[in-house]
């Protein structure tokens, strides 16, 4: 299996994540989609480290994982806060910014 | 040598500067009046001295220097003409200011101080005009005189009629002044000087360009038409009656309206070169005299009768100047100044006592105020041209001059006007001063500050006439039948007024009935005022319509267009903001896609 196989997998995972972000109505589903996209990036980083023999990618992958965790923490906190106020987490209903 | 002439000019100016620059002094009212009166009295003394000793002074100083000699100069010029004018102006100013102290005693002190500041400025302006040795200085003071008449006519500026009359006087005279300034600049362009002495020297040598001189003089004459209230620019003078009566006396007798006649007299060496313009001056003068007299015959307002009579007498002066007898016109200016001031001050005393201008609400005033009555009758006799008062001789000289100048048309008009003059003056005398007292009126004699100037003017009117009679100068004028003719016409006018308003004879009343349509037209002032008002209103309204359209549709249109564009654009763009986060992500994803494809295309 070559580099392209990993990149292809990452692209597919990223696309699935993007699709989820765009189509999910539930805020938690959207967060899940974001997770998938971030993990596609991680796959890319790991694959490049493996095939180029440069450990810098792994360092970045570790950073990404750490930041992802923080992001999920903050994101879920926001979702809970929204739910407390609006009694819903449906993204379609959260249109306060409409012009 | 120019010292005394400068003193005449400087005294009223110093009074004006003091009154204008020191508000506490001005607000004292009567003190301000005393200061102004003292200044004018001093000027009168110096002017009398100049006139009596026959001093001739011409002094000029460079005003605008240039390489080839001064472009313009200022200075003083005293000769027979200006010395006599100086005495008239300072004398009438002095009497009017003394009279005003009593006439305006009900005014608050600050307003009275303002009045005297204007009076001092008025005297200064007119004296500067009289002393001017060139057209340019004359024009500057000419405009100052116009400004002062505006200020004094509008002295009671809170009254709308007075404010309107002041503006009307200003605008109508400005119309003539426009011609004046264009004329003197054209004259300067042709000769390179504004000053009288070099211009007259050129004229005497025949060095003036013949072509174009007529047009230049016509324009200069236009200025005189406006100032001296000749037809068709006479409309401002009757309205100027809205000012206090002493102001009317001053404007009509000594300052303002005499400026035009003075200008034509002063520039006579130039006018003599343009016979066509002179003929026009004569005809316009005669027509003015006649039309104004007819309008005076139907006025009920005592001051307006006098105003139209002034217009009429100015017509006499201009007719004389136009016939090549400027000294006769100028002589009439001087005597007219005296007895017209007398008439106005007498009318002022009546108005002060009764509070009305309508002669039909007066009557039998002679009994209650014999001094004022005497003054008015003497003034009327002089104006009607009755021997041996001053008016007889000067009017005689004017008629003789016009006849000698070979102008039968204007002479006939002026002769008829003599009859009308006697008629309208004695109409006022019979209605207001004789006859039955009006039940609502309670006349009382004027205080001594007002009767004093009246007696001085009566003495002058009689004295000037007596002197002319004693000189035998009357015999020097015209053919033998002229004096009986004018006396007869005057007597006929007095008789008709007596028959119509005192006796109310049936024949006279039938005549009045026959003339009713004419009276109606004259009462409407021949439609001239209405015509001007309509033209003025039409011009202003037309201009306003255009300006309004441009403002509404061009200026506002641009502003509205931009605001509409912004609004519509914002409304369209607003719909992009759905408020759903996912729509924005779509945008971001689409943007990344486009960037990606663009990068691919560029890399290739």
What tokens appear for B489 in the block?
């016409």
Q: pLDDT value at position B473?
A: 54
Chain A's closest residue to B585, CA to CA, is A22
From residue A61, alpha-carbon distances to A14, A41, A74, B334 in Å are 15, 8, 20, 117
Q: Is the pLDDT of residue B455 over 60?
A: yes
Round to whole Å and give the CA distance between B124 and B118. 10
Contacts of A17 in chain B (CB under 8 A): none
> What pLDDT does residue B441 have?
65
- The residue in chain A having the minimum alpha-carbon distance to the alpha carbon of residue B578 is A98
Is B561 a residue whose pLDDT tops 70?
yes
Q: Which two tokens stand for residue B60?
A: 């000029």
Residues in Cβ contact with B429 at an 8 Å cutoff, skipping those fewer than 6 apart: B376, B377, B380, B497
Spell out which residues of chain B touch residue A41, defining contact as CB-CB under 8 Å. none
SS3 breakdown of chain A: % helix, strand, coil, rounded to 5? 80, 0, 15
Q: Would residue B290 be called left, alpha or beta, if left means φ above 0 and alpha means ψ between -120 and 50 degrees? A: alpha
Phi, psi of B77 (to 5 degrees): -135, 115
Task: Tell me whether A92 touches chain B (CB under 8 Å).
Answer: yes
pLDDT at B241 over 90: no
Query: 3.40.50.300, 1.10.287.3510, 3.30.420.40, 1.10.760.10: which CATH number matches A3-93?
Result: 1.10.287.3510
- A21 touches B: beta carbon within 8 Å: yes
- The residue extents of the domains of chain A are 3-93
Asked if B582 lies within 8 A of A99 by C-beta distance, the reply is: no
Look at the alpha carbons of B48, B51, B56, B62 in this order and tell me if their dihedral is positive or negative.
positive
pLDDT at residue B475 greater than cutoff 70: no
What residues pair up with B73 in beta bridges, in sequence order? B62
- Give the per-residue pLDDT at B427: 85
* Range from B227-231, B354-358, B374-378, B558-562 carrying the lowest mean pLDDT: B354-358
Averaged pLDDT for residues B181-192 = 86
Query: Residues of B with CB below 8 A from A82's CB?
Result: none
Contacts (Cβ under 8 Å, ≥6 apart) of B141: B125, B126, B128, B129, B132
| Contact present, B383 and B340 (Cβ < 8 Å) | yes
Residue among B577, B580, B589 whose CB faces A92 most closely: B580
ipTM for the whole predicted complex goes beyond 0.90: no
Q: Could you tell me which chain A residue has the CA closest to the CA of B584?
A: A22
CB contact under 8 A, A99 and B585: no
Note whether B63 and B132 are within 8 A (CB): no
Measured in degrees and rounded to the nearest 5, phi and psi for residue B62 equal -65, 135
C-beta atoms of B579 and A18 within 8 A: no
Q: Which residue on chain A is closest to B573 by alpha carbon?
A: A99
What would the pLDDT profile of B106-149 be if each residue is shown by its tens digit?
888 888 888 888 989 999 999 889 888 888 888 999 899 889 88
Residue pLDDT, tens place only, B290-325:
888 888 888 888 888 888 888 888 888 888 888 888
Q: What is the pLDDT of residue A40?
A: 94
State whether B586 and A22 contact (CB < 8 Å): yes
DSSP for A60-87, written as a single string? HHHHHHHHHHHHHHHHHHHHHHHHHHHS
Using an 8 Å CB-CB cutoff, list residues of chain B that contact chain A: 573-582, 585-586, 589
Average pLDDT by stretches of 10, chain A with 99 residues: 89 93 89 92 92 90 92 92 88 76
- Inter-chain CB proximity B582 and A95 less than 8 Å: no
- pLDDT-derived band at B477 (thresholds 50, 70, 90) equals low
Backbone angles phi, psi at B66, to 5 degrees: -150, 170
| B92 to B38, B143, B146, B249, B496: CA distances (angstroms) | 14, 21, 18, 8, 33
Beta carbons within 8 Å of B206's beta carbon, 6+ residues apart = none
CB pairs under 8 A between A and B: 33
Among the partner-chain residues A22, A94, A96, the one whose CB lies closest to the CB of B585 is A22
Q: Nearest Cα to B310, choosing from B379, B359, B253?
A: B253
Q: Are A34 and A16 in contact (CB under 8 A)?
A: no
Q: Which of B577, B582, B585 sits opposite A97 (nearest CB)?
A: B577
Number of separate helices (H) and strands (E) present in chain A: 3, 0
Checking if the pLDDT of B373 tops 50, the result is yes
Q: Do A98 and B578 touch (CB under 8 A)?
A: yes
The token pair at B111 is 């307003």
Which position has the token pair 């008062």? B389
**Residue numbers in B near A92 (CB within 8 A):** 580
**Quick one: tokens of B376?**
């008015």
Enter the tokens of residue B323.
């016939």
Residues of B in contact with A97 (CB under 8 A): 577, 579
Q: How far apart are CA B167 and CA B228, in angstroms?
A: 17
User: What's the Cα-to-Cα distance from B160 to each of B236, B446, B574, rounded to whole Å?
Assistant: 15, 28, 57
Closest CA to B85 of B56, B48, B38, B60: B48
B85, two tokens: 């004018």
Poorest-confidence range of B73-77, B362-366, B439-443, B449-453? B439-443
CA B84 to chain centroid: 20
pTM: 0.74
How does pLDDT run across B243-254, given as a tens digit for each residue?
888 888 888 887
Residues of B in contact with A75 (CB under 8 A): none
CA gap B120, B140 in Å, rounded: 17
Q: What is the mean pLDDT of residues B417-434?
A: 85
Mean pLDDT, chain B, rounded, equals 84
A91 → chain B, closest CA residue? B580
Q: Taking residues B474-489, what's their average pLDDT?
A: 70
Helices (H), B194-301: 196-205, 213-227, 236-239, 245-253, 257-266, 268-271, 275-297
The CA distance from B366 to B305, in Å, is 19
What is the distance between the alpha carbons of residues B497 and B433, in angstroms, rounded to a whole number?
13
More confidently predicted of B426 and B482: B426
Can you tell me the distance from the alpha carbon of B320 to that of B396, in angstroms, rounded to the nearest whole number? 11
B589 CB neighbours in chain A (<8 A) are: 18, 22
Percent of chain A, pLDDT > 90? 62
Share of chain B above pLDDT 70, in %: 97
To the nearest 10 degrees (0 to 180), the angle between helices B109-131 and B30-53 is 20
pLDDT of residue A44: 92
* DSSP E strands, B79-222: none
Q: Do the Cβ atoms of B491 and B422 come closer than 8 Å?
A: yes
Task: Count the Cβ atoms, other than its own, within 10 Å of residue B529.
Answer: 16
Are the beta carbons of B582 and A98 separated by less than 8 Å?
Answer: no
Q: Which residues contact B75 (CB under 8 A, 6 or more apart)?
A: B2, B58, B59, B60, B61, B133, B134, B137
A30 touching B, CB under 8 A?
yes
């Amino acid at each position: 299996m070559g580099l392209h196989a990993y990149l292809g997998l990452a692209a597919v995972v990223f696309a699935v994540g993007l699709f989820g972000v765009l189509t999910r109505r539930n805020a938690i589903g959207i967060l899940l989609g974001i997770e998938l996209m971030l993990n596609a990036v991680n796959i890319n980083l790991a694959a490049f480290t493996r095939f180029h023999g440069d450990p810098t990618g792994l360092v970045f992958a570790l950073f990404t994982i750490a930041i992802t965790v923080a992001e999920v923490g903050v994101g879920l906190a926001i979702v809970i806060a929204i739910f407390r106020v609006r009694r819903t987490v449906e993204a379609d209903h959260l249109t306060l910014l409409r012009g | 040598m120019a010292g005394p002439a400068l003193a005449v000019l400087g005294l009223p100016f110093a009074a004006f500067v003091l009154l204008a620059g020191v508000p506490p002094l001005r607000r004292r009212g009567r003190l301000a009046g005393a200061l102004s009166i003292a200044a004018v009295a001093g000027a009168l003394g110096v002017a009398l001295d100049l006139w009596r000793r026959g001093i001739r002074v011409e002094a000029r100083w460079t005003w605008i220097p240039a390489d080839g000699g001064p472009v313009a100069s200022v200075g003083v010029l005293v000769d027979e003409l200006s010395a006599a004018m100086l005495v008239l102006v300072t004398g009438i100013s002095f009497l009017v200011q003394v009279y005003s102290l009593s006439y305006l005693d009900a005014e608050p002190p600050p307003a009275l101080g303002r009045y005297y500041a204007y009076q001092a400025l008025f005297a200064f302006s007119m004296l500067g005009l009289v002393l001017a040795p060139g057209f340019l200085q004359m024009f500057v003071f000419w405009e100052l005189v116009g400004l002062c008449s505006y200020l004094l006519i509008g002295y009671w500026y809170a009254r709308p009629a007075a404010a309107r009359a002041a503006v009307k006087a200003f605008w109508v005279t400005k119309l003539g002044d426009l011609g004046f300034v264009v004329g003197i600049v054209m004259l300067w362009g042709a000769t390179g000087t504004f000053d009288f002495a070099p211009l007259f020297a050129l004229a005497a040598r025949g060095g003036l360009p013949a072509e174009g001189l007529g047009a230049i003089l016509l324009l200069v004459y236009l200025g005189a038409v406006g100032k001296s209230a000749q037809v068709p620019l006479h409309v401002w003078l009757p309205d100027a009656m809205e000012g206090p009566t002493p102001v009317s006396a001053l404007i009509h007798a000594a300052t303002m309206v005499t400026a035009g006649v003075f200008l034509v007299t002063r520039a006579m060496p130039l006018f003599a070169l343009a016979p066509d313009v002179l003929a026009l001056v004569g005809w316009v003068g005669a027509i003015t005299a006649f039309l104004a007299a007819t309008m005076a015959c139907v006025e009920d307002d005592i001051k307006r009768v006098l105003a139209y009579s002034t217009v009429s007498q100015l017509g006499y002066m201009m007719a004389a100047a136009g016939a090549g007898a400027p000294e006769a016109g100028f002589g009439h200016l001087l005597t007219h100044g005296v007895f017209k001031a007398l008439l106005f001050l007498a009318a002022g005393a009546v108005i002060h006592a009764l509070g009305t201008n309508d002669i039909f609400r007066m009557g039998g005033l002679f009994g209650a105020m014999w001094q004022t009555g005497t003054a008015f009758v003497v003034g009327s006799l002089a104006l009607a041209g009755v021997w041996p008062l001053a008016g007889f001789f000067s009017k005689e000289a004017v008629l003789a001059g016009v006849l000698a100048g070979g102008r039968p048309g204007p002479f006939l008009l002026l002769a008829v006007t003599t009859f009308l003059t006697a008629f309208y003056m004695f109409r006022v005398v019979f209605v207001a001063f004789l006859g039955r007292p009006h039940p609502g009126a309670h006349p009382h004699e004027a205080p001594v500050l007002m009767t004093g100037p009246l007696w001085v003017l009566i003495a002058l009117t009689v004295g000037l006439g007596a002197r002319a009679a004693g000189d035998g100068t009357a015999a020097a004028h015209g053919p033998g039948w002229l004096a009986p003719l004018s006396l007869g016409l005057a007597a006929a006018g007095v008789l008709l007024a007596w028959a119509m308003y005192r006796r109310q004879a049936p024949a006279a009343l039938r005549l009045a009935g026959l003339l009713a349509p004419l009276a109606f037209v004259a009462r409407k002032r021949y439609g001239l005022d209405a015509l001007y008002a309509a033209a003025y209103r039409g011009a202003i309204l037309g201009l306003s319509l255009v300006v309004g359209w441009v403002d509404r549709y061009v200026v506002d249109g641009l502003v509205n267009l931009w605001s509409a564009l912004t609004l519509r654009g914002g409304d369209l763009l607003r719909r992009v903001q759905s408020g759903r986060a996912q729509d924005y992500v779509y945008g971001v994803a689409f943007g990344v896609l486009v960037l990606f494809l663009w990068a691919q295309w560029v890399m290739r």
